[in-house]
Structure 1
């Protein structure tokens, strides 16, 4: 089984410790025979905290996803909570998983009400929009998506590569406890990178509670493995109803060409 993990940014050298650690942390949890190749968007400005920036990044991520299908991958994983999941499912014929949808669906089997703690207010807005689109609002608490304070930055992220206890976890847990007080019994880590980092450090429950802190990324990858397995065993990959029916491939290619350098 071959999975293509698509990042929303370029492979910036400053974050090399992060990329290496993520890959090392994910490798042991995939099933025997599963291979993950990590691909990065080309031309990204490496900024995601904006609805407009997300729109631009989605074009670049989908460019990589389309190429992954051409290259024979069995599934595509969109490695960011800011994703274009439905657009990817429409244009591809192979299973597509995302950090957000797959971890939210998994949370339904873990508890009655979930909450998501993420890295910025702008990211929270994007995640709540998706939660509503996926029809999962009734299984989440009021104000289901909340951000740590102060918001995450590059220094906090790189610090979490070596020791998330030094800064990130305290900020995260303060918000998680607010969510628990309001009825959450599952807390999802609302970032594709922090999830594996805190799990790697052994932080899997809110301290002194039985409430799980879910590494959404790892859970979503395992979910995608199952989706690919179902597709191979039964032929069921997606509905060909109006939402995800594949559009005319020639027209899509012309539309991509019309974008010029953005889709190159």
Structure 2
């Protein structure tokens, strides 16, 4: 089985310690025989804390997903909570998983009420929209998506690579405890990169509460691995009626040419 993890940005060499740590955290969780390749976008605005910017970037993510399918990957993973999941599923014929949907579905088996702790105020809006789109709002607390403050930046992210307890975990824990007070019994980390870093640091539960802090990325990737295994062994990928029915390829490619994508 070959899985492709698509990052939502172009490659940034300054974040190489993060990419190395992410690989070390995620790859060992996969089954023997599962191959994983990380890919960055050839073009990206490298900014998704905006509805319009995310919309623009989503085009490049789906284009990368189409190329990954052409290159022979059996499953595609959209490695960001800000993702074009339904658009990618519509045009691909292999399983497509996202950090958001797959981790939320996994959380349903872990507790009654979930909450997501994310990294910026704008991202809370995108994730709340996901909860509604996936029909999972009733399985979450009131104000189900909350952000750390101050918001995440490159300095905080790189600091969390070396020592997440120094700055990031205290911010997460403060928000997580407020979520727990409002009824959450599962906390998802609403960023594709911080979840693996917390798990690698053995921060998997809010201390003294019994509430798991879920590495959303690795859990979601394992979920995609199962989806892909079912597709390969049982032939079940998706419905091809209505929303997920692929458009005629000629019409799709005409639209892509209009934007000079091909």
TM class, shorter-chain normalised? over 0.9
Corresponding residue of 1:258: 258
Please give the secondary structure, in 1, of the residue aligned with 2:206.
coil
How far 1:45 moved relative to its partner?
2.2
How far 1:142 moved relative to its partner?
0.5
CA distance in 2, matches of 1:11, 1:88: 21
Corresponding residue of 1:13: 13
CA distance in 2, matches of 1:54, 1:19: 22
Deviations 1:109-135 (A, max 9, x none): 000000000000000100000110000
CA RMSD, aligned part only?
0.7
Pair 1:239-2:239 in alignment: yes
Corresponding residue of 2:97: 97
Please give the secondary structure, in 2, of the residue aligned with 1:105.
helix
Which runs of structure 1 show a deviation greater than 4 angstroms over 4 or more consecutive aligned residues?
A: none
How far 1:250 moved relative to its partner?
1.2
How far 1:233 moved relative to its partner?
1.8
How far 1:194 moved relative to its partner?
0.1
Q: How does 1:148-167 map to 2 (within 5 A)?
A: 148-167=148-167
Corresponding residue of 1:124: 124
How far 1:61 moved relative to its partner?
0.6
The unaligned stretches of length 5 or more in structure 2 are none
CA distance in 2, matches of 1:154, 1:84: 24
How far 1:190 moved relative to its partner?
0.2
CA distance in 1, matches of 2:80, 2:106: 17
How far 1:232 moved relative to its partner?
1.4
CA distance in 2, matches of 1:94, 1:35: 16
Count how many residue pairs are aligned between Structure 1 and Structure 2: 262
Please give the secondary structure, in 2, of the residue aligned with 1:150.
coil
Scaled by the length of structure 2, what TM-score is found? 0.99
CA distance in 2, matches of 1:116, 1:2: 29
